[in-house]
Structure 1
Amino acid sequence: MYEFNEGNVVRNEQSAINYIWICGKEKNNSICIMLPGLGYTTQRPLFHYATNVCMNENVDILHINYNYLGNEAFKKLDHHDQDQWIYEDVKSVVTAVLKDAKYETYFILSKSIGTIPMAYEWIEKDFISKQNSYGIWLTPLIKDEIVYNALSKTEIPSLYVIGTDDPHYNEESIASINENTNVTGLVIPKANHGLEVKGDIKMTINIVYDVMESIEKIIKKYKDK
């Protein structure tokens, strides 16, 4: 059984972030922090089913539901400052919500723009430094240097998933990332940035199934490490 704890963290007058902390009524030793995309929220299929995978495996979940589409102050910033803003938002929520929690294992699951604060955390190690940590990167923005470097050089066991029709897919970059033995990749032919195949619903559903299988595998492998 799980409890759903909803709240809001106000970092400053221009940044308030909603979250949902899903906790087992009996203590779980692992948590998965989920960082959605710009328009791909935690209510969308990949996050919905990944949440169910975690719950089935007795892993708590923290949805960080930032929303930048309507934030005019955020839109006025340059690319670097936007990246830093998102990372500060994520850190603020994790620090506030999990300050008294004691987890032994941390998974971070991100999609699209969510892979940017994840890449920052891979460098800064602000809240994963003392825990067993593992990464799940859905449609990573590998054309962004910080994301590419984080994945290609990571010492943290990680899974990435990307489609060949994703604008961030680059065969040369993927080949380089695959040289890192800490990284496992799932490259999906014809899938776009939403991990969908346009005009083919059955194939898209099969993609969700394959992605969930891969996520379940990494959760099962490392949750009790």
Structure 2
Amino acid sequence: MKFNKLNIHGSRGFPLRNTLFSPGSGKKGLALLFPGAGYTCDMPALYYSRSILLSQKYDVLSLEYSFQNQGEMFDPDRIQEVLEDGEKVMDSIEKLGYSEFILVGKSLGTRVLTHLLSQRKLLDRAKAVYLTPVFSRVFNDATAGVKQEVFMVIGTKDPFYSPELIQDLKSQKDFQLLVLEGTDHGLEIPGDCIGSILRMKTLCLEMVKFFNK
């Protein structure tokens, strides 16, 4: 395992904290992990996503946003700043020579995924995993235009879980869906450690299938 840092300046002009993990020789491409507002790349769903991707021989770039670098809470009125952070990340990695990409986003990160997948030609053949997407009419309208293969994961106890909105998006775009019974916005079952671990195992197995199909 190798570790590196990329020189990425975010929307505010400050360096974005990041770590580039590499499994070594024989790598397939690059995976990008976009965290949630309060869900870092070291928390379970993204930690295990990274572990799986490394086992699949992808380099993996774990990131933070500008507001997280500054120790601030997310302000929804500054969403454009977060999307610009995503653009800055892409500007930096376009120079690195990768041709195969997987994007994984958690909650807020799913909005970054939709933005980048819709805008960046380099990502035309990418695959994307949306963990606990923020389903809404606005999100659906934007994500319906994404042409890449998408795998979405959400729990039945997540406040953004809406069978109606999921069906609405399904009517506009084909995507793979995993609904985890009883899990919340952190993809855990409150008060049930073993149940949470079993749900995470299910998520990991389905991700491996998605990456390899």
Question: TM-score, normalized by length of structure 2?
Answer: 0.88
Are 1:193 and 2:192 an aligned pair? no
Are 1:106 and 2:98 an aligned pair? no
Are 1:210 and 2:205 an aligned pair? no
1:15-64, Cα deviation, whole Å (9 max, x unpaired): 43111112243252322111011111011111111111111111111112
Q: Is the 8 A contact 1:178 1:184 kept in 2?
A: no
The amino acid across from 1:11 in the alignment is: G
The amino acid across from 1:39 in the alignment is: G
Q: Say which structure is richer in strand.
A: 1
Q: Is the 8 A contact 1:162 1:195 kept in 2?
A: yes
Q: What is the rounded CA distance, in whole Å, between the counterparts of 1:89 and 1:166 in structure 2?
A: 26
Identity of aligned residues (%): 22
How far did residue 111 of structure 1 move? 0.3
Q: Is the 8 A contact 1:159 1:184 kept in 2?
A: yes
The amino acid across from 1:58 in the alignment is: K
When the two structures are aligned, how many residues end up with a matched partner? Answer: 213
The amino acid across from 2:82 in the alignment is: I
Q: Secondary structure at the match of 1:26?
A: coil
CA change 1:64–1:122 in 2 (3 A) is same
CA change 1:141–1:64 in 2 (3 A) is same
Q: Secondary structure at the match of 1:176?
A: helix
How far did residue 74 of structure 1 move? 8.1
Equivalent runs, 1:1-225 vs 2, <5 Å: 2-11=1-10, 15-66=14-65, 68-69=67-68, 71=70, 79=77, 82-103=78-99, 105-125=100-120, 127-129=122-124, 132-143=125-136, 145=138, 147-179=139-171, 182-221=174-213
TM-align CA RMSD: 2.4
Q: Is the 8 A contact 2:12 2:66 kept in 1?
A: no
Q: What is the rounded CA distance, in whole Å, between the counterparts of 1:153 and 1:98 in structure 2?
A: 23
Q: What is the rounded CA distance, in whole Å, between the counterparts of 2:179 and 2:12 in structure 1?
A: 41
The amino acid across from 2:141 in the alignment is: N
What residue ranges of structure 2 are gaps of 5+ in the alignment? none
Q: What is the rounded CA distance, in whole Å, between the counterparts of 2:197 and 2:76 in structure 1?
A: 37
Q: Is the 8 A contact 1:64 1:90 kept in 2?
A: no
Question: TM-score, normalized by length of structure 1?
Answer: 0.84
Q: What is the rounded CA distance, in whole Å, between the counterparts of 2:137 and 2:62 in structure 1?
A: 24
What residue ranges of structure 1 are gaps of 5+ in the alignment? none
